[in-house]
Every structure is written in structure tokens, then in C-alpha cells.
Amino acid sequence: MARVAALITIAAGVAVVGFSPNRWDEVILLLPRGHGLHVHDVVGVVLVVIGVLTLWHVPRAATS
């Protein structure tokens, strides 16, 4: 069950990074050429990292 939750968390993080909501459009860090790191980028990356770490540490089901 934890593996499914981890995969859902990863998918949600990817969706947050891909979708640019106006309410989270605050720029945290300005980058060259008019680009910037936005809050929704950070939230999405954090969700993906949590999902990957969970997926990594959850033991696999025994198959025999």
C-alpha cells in the first residue's frame, strides 16, 4: 500500500511542476534571462523527492 501511495505522490509532484497555478506563482529565486524558481516548482520537487524516498525505503513484497 505504501508503494502505491509513493507512486501517487510522485505523480502529484510531476503534475504540480507541470501545472502553473496563478496563486503559487511567487518567484523564490531569479535566474538569468528572465527565468525564476517558483513556489509551485519547489512544492512539486518536494513531493517527487518524498515519493521517491518512500518508494526506495519500502520493502518489496516477498515473491516465491
Q: What pLDDT, in 10s, does the model give residues 38-49? A: 888 899 999 999
**Per-residue pLDDT at 55 exceeds 80:** yes
Whether 6 maps to a domain, the answer reads: yes
Domain region containing 17: 2-57
Residue 56's contacts (CB-CB under 8 Å, 6 or more residues apart) are none
Whether 63 maps to a domain, the answer reads: no
Whether 25 maps to a domain, the answer reads: yes
Q: Which residues pair with 30 in a beta bridge?
A: 36
Helix (H) and strand (E) counts for the chain?
Answer: 2, 2
Nearest-angstrom CA–CA distance, 26 and 36: 9
Nearest-angstrom CA–CA distance, 47 and 58: 16
Report the amino acid identity of residue 49: V
Whether 64 maps to a domain, the answer reads: no
Domains: count for the chain: 1
The model's pTM: 0.78
